[in-house]
């Protein structure tokens, strides 16, 4: 139940150097996360308040559409960042207690950093302090994991297998992220289109009564293109992990993830350039995909508890 090859990485020199290079890229990502957060939110209450509510003299709350889109991207990146980073960290010889503490702390600080956006906008601006604190905690804890992993692979002995409890804990935390991701997907769909066929048609074809314009091919391609890769990565990762569960339909579920994610992505073009009634395909492809995301997340969750 591992995301990376785990047998004697140091004895496989090409793989060893590739892993070191990969860890350096994760380090660059970690550094850039500080820069990105600073330029987007800032590190103070007032700068973050301005992002969510605009100028205090002329307040304008950020839209649910923009908010959910930000959360959608953020939770996806954090889920896979944690998965790949801890998959390597679990190969180290550090204590199981340390590994467990860092997995739990990093995961929940990451989830709070994402979900705090909703609390800020719809509960109280005071939750900005929660967002700042959880972001700092996530960065510090993941930075510690990254540093320890680098030190281990460069200076310490041979990699060894972690206990099954640590591996299952990582799977449990990853399944939490997947559940959050599926919930946020509903927010994105609802805030942008709504769940009626007419709303979906209007989103792609435009509606003069609401002064909305039809989607352009270029604009739709900008969404279609990155989602092809991101959903393929999601599908292959979840399908790979499902192979270690007791589900008798793991192959069918895995192939269905690929199929419905592609159909959901493609159906916008079908509505815009083939026939408006393809909105039915869009809605049902989305709903079936989300059902699969929930179901696979629960399967992984149950497997991690077995």
State whether 172 and 28 are in the same domain. yes
State whether 152 and 125 are in the same domain. yes
How many folded domains does the chain comprise?
A: 2
With bands split at pLDDT 50, 70 and 90, how would you rate the model's confidence at 45?
very high
State whether 154 and 221 are in the same domain. no
Q: 246-299: per-residue pLDDT in tens?
A: 778 888 999 999 999 999 999 999 999 999 999 999 999 999 999 999 999 888
Stretch 106-123: mean pLDDT: 95
- The model's pTM is 0.90
With bands split at pLDDT 50, 70 and 90, how would you rate the model's confidence at 4?
low
Q: What is the residue range of 279's domain? A: 193-306
Backbone angles phi, psi at 61, to 5 degrees: -65, 140
Q: Cα–chain-centroid distance for residue 198?
A: 30
Q: What is the pLDDT of residue 1?
A: 42
End-to-end, the C-alpha distance of the chain in Å comes to 13
Query: Which residues make Cβ contacts (< 8 Å) with residue 200, sequence separation at least 6?
Result: 193, 194, 271, 279, 282, 283
Hey, is 215 helix, strand or coil? Answer: coil
Q: Which long-range contacts (CB under 8 A, 24 or more apart) does 123-129 make?
A: 125/49, 125/52, 125/53, 128/45, 128/48, 128/49, 128/52, 129/45
Q: 225-260: per-residue pLDDT in tens?
A: 999 999 999 999 998 888 877 778 888 999 999 999
Alpha carbons 134 and 273: distance in angstroms, whole number: 44
Domain boundary (169, 191, 213) is at 191
């Amino acid at each position: 139940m591992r995301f990376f090859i785990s047998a004697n990485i140091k004895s496989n020199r090409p793989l060893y150097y590739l892993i070191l290079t990969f860890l350096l890229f994760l380090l660059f990502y970690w550094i850039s996360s500080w820069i990105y957060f600073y330029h987007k939110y800032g590190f103070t209450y007032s700068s973050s308040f301005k992002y969510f509510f605009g100028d205090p003299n002329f307040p304008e709350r950020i839209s649910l559409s923009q908010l959910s889109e930000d959360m959608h991207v953020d939770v996806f990146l954090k889920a896979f960042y944690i998965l790949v980073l801890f998959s390597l960290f679990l190969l180290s010889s550090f204590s199981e207690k340390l590994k467990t503490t860092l997995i739990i702390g990093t995961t929940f600080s990451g989830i709070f950093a994402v979900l705090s956006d909703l609390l800020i906008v719809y509960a109280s601006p005071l939750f900005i302090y929660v967002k700042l604190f959880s972001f700092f905690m996530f960065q510090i804890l993941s930075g510690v994991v990254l540093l320890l992993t680098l030190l281990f692979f460069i200076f310490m002995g041979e990699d060894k297998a972690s206990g099954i409890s640590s591996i299952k804990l990582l799977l449990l935390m990853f399944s939490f992220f997947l559940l959050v991701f599926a919930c946020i997907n509903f927010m994105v769909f609802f805030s942008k289109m709504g769940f009626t066929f007419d709303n979906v048609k209007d989103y792609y074809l435009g509606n003069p009564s609401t002064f909305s314009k039809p989607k352009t091919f270029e604009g739709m391609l900008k969404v279609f293109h990155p989602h092809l890769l991101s959903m393929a990565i999601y599908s292959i990762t979840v399908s790979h992990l499902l192979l270690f569960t007791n589900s008798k339909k793991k192959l069918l579920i895995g192939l269905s993830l690929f199929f419905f994610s592609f159909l959901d992505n493609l159906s916008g073009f079908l509505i815009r350039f083939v026939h408006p009634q393809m909105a039915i395909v869009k809605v049902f492809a989305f709903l079936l995909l989300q059902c699969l995301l929930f179901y696979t997340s629960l399967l992984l969750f149950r497997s991690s508890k077995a």
